[in-house]
Amino acid sequence: NDRLVLASPETATDQNYADIERVIAHEYFHNWTGNRITCRDWFQLCLKEGLTVFRDQEFTSDVRSQAVKRIEDVRTLRARQYPEDQGPLAHPVRPASYIEINNFYTPTVYEKGAELCRMMQTLIGKPAFRKAMDLYFVRHDGEAATVEDFVRCMADASGRDFTQFFRWYEQAGTPVVEVETKHDAATQTFELTVSQSTPPTPGQTEKLPQHIPLALGLVDPRGNDLPLHLEGVGALNAPLVELTSARQVYRFTGIAQRPVLSLNRGFSAPVIVRSDAKAADHLFLMGRDSDGFNRWESAQSLARDLFCAAATGLRDATPLPDARPFAEALGHTLSDPKADVAFKALMLELPSEADIAARIGTDVNSDHVREGRNALRSSIARVLLPLLENAYAVTAEAGGYRADTRGTGRRSMRFAALSLIAAADTERGLYLARAELAQPANMTIEIGALQAVLATSAAETLLEQFLARHRDDHLLVDKWLALSAQIPLPGASARVEALTTHPLFTWTTPNRVYALVGGLGSNLAGFHAADGEGYRVVADAIIRLNAINPQVAARMATGFRSWRQFDPARRAQAERQMRRVVETPGLSPDVFEIITRTLN
């Protein structure tokens, strides 16, 4: 796949450079975790892939920004693996069976598998984890190992019992952690009641409690982390509690004033946290939490609630929620001289339509999701407009292109600001984007400017101009197709269907298909259009690809995995198209497995 090997500033974006660095590192790390120590059988695939993903994540954290990398990895996990874990395709990190081995290479095996390695490191500490890895390499070099062999090394090197933890490898689903807090000023205690549950998944109706490491902090009104003294234990050596039962109570002593709880810091466990935190708590943590991940998480949680309220408000004919307090808190982050510029850019990237739909959960109207998000995002942008204009101005390109942390952070901030400027003032956004596109110094500028104005009526014309400049570069044609499919305006399915007949599109090149058909699948209101045309176009593509490349067809079929989230009319349309796929003569095992599991 030359997309993950070839790069120049004129053809590759900052993200492309980061992806190449990550993938090359991943394949290099496979020398030990995959080659010298390989898997005994296919069921142990997470042993090499989950572990190697964890290693490449740690590598990128070391050479780039640790907080930014962690946020990016969690966004990927939530976008790709959470829907799998919460839908009809849910399976354990180490699956117990399969129909087609090509369908074994899943986000659960890779991304969730990496999170299990990270949790073990959190539980035993980095020095013990390194000792366990060294033991694993010595003990199993030249062997075909199992997950049990790997976990046994963790236990032997640390002296910890991982019997319960092993359930993470055997149980599917995303655990839900519910939190209640109580501060008693008279006794100066802060009580934390935590419970866990994992919803039923296909083939696993009963779930046992998991071993969940929860990194935490209690933040005082000045933004300082309080010392943690746990009743019955004393001072904690690490700011961490371990949830092993269905319900546990933790009582911290010496807490004179009510603190704000910062839980699951650094995303210490791949769970869904539901707490009794108020909006004021999230606003406080956005600006004061010492944990970068939870500053971002607080902003995302608030924004998701606002966007969900906007979408349901359209259904119920109620006004938009007041987003000014959130916008002002976001403004404080933008003005923070200590905050990393790449971190500020991530704070400006508000929850996606898919995030909002997942949060609503049932009877989703994708048109309401898009309309509500657009309206509220514009409202937030208008409050921030002076700060956005300043952020855009001070991040202008200076000197030659460098794909280092400083350069990529500056460009990510510039185009995150431009995207919101366009949301606040379309004409101003278009003026700035056209200026960027007139003489772009690198591909990051071109793609950033195009993405910023993709929701405007000028998008198709600007994309035509992009193609005219780059039609001889196949990697850039892929970018053009992907952007064309993702235009968040009505008529997405018709645009994509028309582009399948374009001379530069070919069904036999997987990256072309991923860009165009996969792009439609990621366009929420386009794929889940009320008339069912998005479903039909993707189903047509799956049927056609089934005879050409069943693996690519199966990957496109996973786009239907969240169909039960939507309203009855959309569910009926999606089911009709999936049944049409199932009835296709000569259907491959790859596609059959995905579609039948999704339907059933």
Indicate which residues carry an active-site annotation: 27
Say if residues 442 and 401 touch (Cβ distance below 8 Å).
Answer: yes
Give the angle subtended at the CA of 411 by the CAs of 408 and 417, to the nearest 5°.
140
Token reading at 531: 């008339």
Counting beta carbons within 10 angstroms of the beta carbon of residue 149, is it exposed (0 to 12), middle (13 to 18) or buried (19 or more)? middle
Residue given tokens 């199966």 in the structure block:
554
Per-residue b/e over 450-472, b at no fewer than 16 CB within 10 Å? bbbbbbbeebeebbeebbeebee
- Closest by CA position to 496, among listed 483, 508, 509: 483
Say if residues 92 and 50 touch (Cβ distance below 8 Å).
Answer: no
End-to-end CA distance of the chain: 34
Instruction: Report the distance separating Cα 447 and Cα 453, nearest Å.
Output: 10
Helices (H) and strands (E) in the chain, counts: 27, 11
- For the range 384-390, what are the long-range contacts, defined as Cβ-Cβ under 8 Å and sequence gap of 24 or more? 384/327, 384/330, 384/331, 384/334, 384/420, 384/424, 385/421, 385/424, 385/425, 387/331, 387/334, 387/335, 388/334, 388/417, 388/420, 388/421, 388/424, 389/417, 389/421
Instruction: Report the distance separating Cα 512 and Cα 305, nearest Å.
Output: 36
Instruction: Report the distance separating Cα 329 and Cα 345, nearest Å.
Output: 14
- Closest by CA position to 357, among listed 419, 304, 421: 304
- Cβ-based neighbours of 361, under 8 Å, separated by 6 or more: 565
- Closest by CA position to 26, among listed 54, 6, 47, 62: 54
Residue given tokens 């009877």 in the structure block:
363
Within a 13 Å sphere around the CA of 329, how many CA atoms are in the beta-carbon half? Answer: 23
- Cβ-based neighbours of 101, under 8 Å, separated by 6 or more: 42
